[in-house]
Amino acid sequence: MSSYDVTIIGSGPGGYVAAIRCSQLGLKTAIIEKYDTLGGTCLNVGCIPSKALLDSSEHYHNAVNNFEEHGIETKSVKANITQMIKRKNDVVSQTCAGVKFLMDKNKIDVYNGLGSFIDKNTVKVQHKDGTDTSLTSKNIIIATGSKPNFFPGMEPDKKRIITSTEALNLSEIPKKMLVIGGGVIGLELGSVYGRLGTQIEVVEFASTILPTMDSSLGKELTRALKKEGFKFNLEHRVQRVENKGKSVVLTALNKKGEEVTFEGDYCLVAVGRKAFTEGLNLEAAGISANSRGQIEVNDHLQTSATNIYAIGDVVRGTMLAHKAEEEGVYVAEIIGGQKPHINYNLIPGVVYTWPEVAAVGKTEEELKAAGVEYKVGSFPIKALGRARASMDTAGLIKVLADKITDEVLGVHMIAPRAADLIMEAVVAMEYRASAEDIARICHPHPTYSEAIKEAALDATEARALHV
Ligand code: FAD
Ligand code: NAD
């Protein structure tokens, strides 16, 4: 039986990053993954493949809609979904191979198979060929991630009623796709197919899309996506979805309580994800999952068994790859005897639509609920020279600052390249900058980052320069 200082179950961004940091700290480390490739949801069926398809569809959309205005003439532009999926698969394979390379480079032992507890120091790996291996370990990190969620009546059949996993592998461009859930997955994968010509019809339970983000973002994104042809049905309670062979029919109750039906050729179910612990045999280690299926952890991400930790989507908090990575490093350093820290308030969130949406810190709704007095500064993207030059004029940047101290409490943006722009706000907030600190920093011209400076100037003393 092989023995380790640390054994990690699950090789997503939480697990594989934890493994690398453990190895850097001189800990003998093993990682177990039930699938053939490493990288988890993020690399195989999440962040990376969705962004690959978002990029391909964005090129197509620009070629069809914007090239002519830029003075670029093309004969005929055609979307080849087979090639798009193939390129996406190549990107995924290369990225997963990169993780295997990192495991080898860091001398981390990789075991392919289902990991399950024998006791709190022993994990059995059940291999695909029916054999098994037992590992003993001083410490164990559970990083088993999440799976798509659904509610009664909308069970995916994976053919016409699909989850994000199938939506990343369609062999045709749908004519009409119904999307249950106007959250991150619904809007990102809806954008992929919407840009390729699919009619996207979103059915959302809440009164806005992106309901957990600052409400200004959902409003602005609704406008932008409607221009791309999206249809939104808010405050609709889905009753059932039926596969009719070549089509799907969705029945929902609208806000008046009337039954309404929608028909499409596919229905994407995107109503959140749930923590995944199946097959782990947690009881053998003396651990149990809570009513939401998550593993309970304390502030040190330690479970009720003190040598077992849990990180990423399988524990509380946002289900984001970078949050899982931070937790992976955190736990490795705790095991290594260090005193790490995670600032959960400063985990940025990004939605890769176009314009992109990004945010960090508190929303206006959260500040109001907490009774914090705050100032708002905002700046429209259309007022930037950079935006006019690139014909990307939709969006805004909003800076929320404490009314008395001027400390930045939240930054919310819908803008071209917001996914990268948000990091200026994260760095500023980590160092507890005031809005005036940001406003006084020289920003390069012409860039989208000038909108952050202008919004900060507006928050400081309503002294934005270019509106
Ligand atoms: P996972 O990545 O889910 O990895 C868990 C791994 O554990 C899996 O490989 C699984 O096979 C393995 N496993 C489970 N049980 C066992 C077992 N018993 N034995 C062995 N192995 C096991 N987040 C972002 O930050 N940015 C994005 O752009 C983004 N886009 C996304 C797009 C989509 C379509 C989806 C679905 C998700 C996206 N996410 C994104 C979320 C992101 O993928 C997750 O937050 C992240 O992957 C969580 O990492 P994790 O390590 O906790 O778990
Ligand atoms: P989500 O929580 O972002 O959105 C789910 C949406 O479905 C919400 O708007 C919710 O109000 C709605 N909803 C819930 N129940 C419903 C019902 N019965 N009928 C109609 N609407 C309903 O979840 P998601 O989009 O499935 O994404 C899952 C997770 O994956 C998220 O936590 C997200 O953080 C992560 N993810 C992140 C990214 C990114 O960072 N860019 C991309 C994709 C996924």
pLDDT confidence of residue 467: 85
Question: Which of 54, 150, 164, 185 to probe ligand 2 with, by most ligand atoms within 8 A of CB?
Answer: 185
Same domain, 232 and 260: yes
Mean pLDDT of 34-48: 98
Q: Has residue 156 been placed in a domain?
A: no
Mean pLDDT of 210-222: 97
Q: Has residue 23 been placed in a domain?
A: yes
Band (pLDDT 50/70/90 cuts) for residue 305 is very high
pLDDT confidence of residue 461: 85
CB of 211 sitting under 6 A from ligand 2: yes
Same domain, 357 and 290: no
Q: Has residue 131 been placed in a domain?
A: yes
Phi, psi of 138 (to 5 degrees): -65, -40
Ligand 1 site, CB within 6 A: 9-15, 32-35, 40-42, 46-47, 50, 114-115, 143-146, 164, 185, 276, 279-280, 312-313, 319-322, 324
Domain count, the chain: 3
Q: What is the pLDDT of residues 154-192, one digit of tens each?
A: 999 999 999 999 999 999 999 999 999 999 999 999 999
- Cα–Cα distances in Å, from 58 out to 170, 257, 356? 17, 38, 12
For residue 34, what are the domain limits?
Answer: 2-148+274-342
Q: What is the pLDDT of residues 255-274, one digit of tens each?
A: 999 999 999 999 999 999 99
Mean pLDDT of 34-49: 98
Which of 224, 254, 271 terminates a domain? The answer is 271
d(C-alpha 133, C-alpha 111), whole Å? 9
Instruction: Calculate how far, in angstroms, residue 4's C-alpha sits from the geometric centre of ligand 1.
Output: 24
Burial of 25 (0-12, 13-18, 19+ CB in 10 A): middle
- Cα–Cα distances in Å, from 256 out to 38, 201, 235, 251, 259? 48, 19, 9, 14, 9
Q: Has residue 227 been placed in a domain?
A: yes
Q: Which of 379, 332, 402 is nearest to 28 (CA)?
A: 332
Same domain, 42 and 167: no
Q: Has residue 466 been placed in a domain?
A: no
The residues, ordered by sequence, that sit 6+ positions from 99 with a Cβ below 8 Å of its Cβ are 11, 16, 38, 39, 43
pLDDT confidence of residue 329: 98
Which of 271, 287, 302 terminates a domain? The answer is 271
Same domain, 9 and 128: yes
Ligand 2: residue whose CA is nearest its atom 30:
319
The pLDDT of residue 463 is above 90: no
% of the chain exceeding 90 in pLDDT:
98
pLDDT confidence of residue 1: 80
Helices (H), 72-158: 81-105
Phi, psi of 441 (to 5 degrees): -80, 135
Same domain, 13 and 131: yes
pLDDT confidence of residue 447: 98
Same domain, 130 and 179: no
Which of 220, 246, 271 terminates a domain? The answer is 271
Is residue 375 within a helix (H) or strand (E), and if so which, with residue range?
Answer: strand 374-380
Question: Which of 166, 271, 353, 357 to probe ligand 2 with, by most ligand atoms within 8 A of CB?
Answer: 271
CB of 232 sitting under 6 A from ligand 2: no
Band (pLDDT 50/70/90 cuts) for residue 375 is very high
The pLDDT of residue 462 is above 90: no
Radius of gyration of the chain (CA): 24
Same domain, 329 and 353: no
3-class DSSP assignment, residue 259: strand
pLDDT confidence of residue 159: 97
pLDDT confidence of residue 313: 98
Same domain, 433 and 352: yes
Taking the C-alpha atoms of 278, 279, 280 and 285 in order, what is their torsion angle to the nearest 10 degrees? 110
Mean pLDDT of 436-454: 98
Instruction: Calculate how far, in angstroms, residue 181's C-alpha sits from the geometric centre of ligand 2.
Output: 6
Same domain, 290 and 215: no
Same domain, 170 and 267: yes
CA count, 13 A, side-chain hemisphere, 312: 31
Q: Is 70 a catalytic residue?
A: no
Same domain, 16 and 131: yes
Same domain, 22 and 144: yes
Ligand 2: residue whose CA is nearest its atom 14:
271
Q: Has residue 465 been placed in a domain?
A: no
CATH code of the domain in which 242 resides:
3.50.50.60
Q: Has residue 153 been placed in a domain?
A: no
Give the tokens for residue 142.
Answer: 């559970």
pLDDT confidence of residue 241: 98
Q: Has residue 155 been placed in a domain?
A: no
Instruction: Calculate how far, in angstroms, residue 212's C-alpha sits from the geometric centre of ligand 2.
Output: 9
The pLDDT of residue 433 is above 90: yes
CATH code of the domain in which 452 resides:
3.30.390.30
Burial 184-219 (b: 16+ CB within 10 A, else e): bbbbbbbbbbbbbebbbbbbbbeebbbeebbebbbe
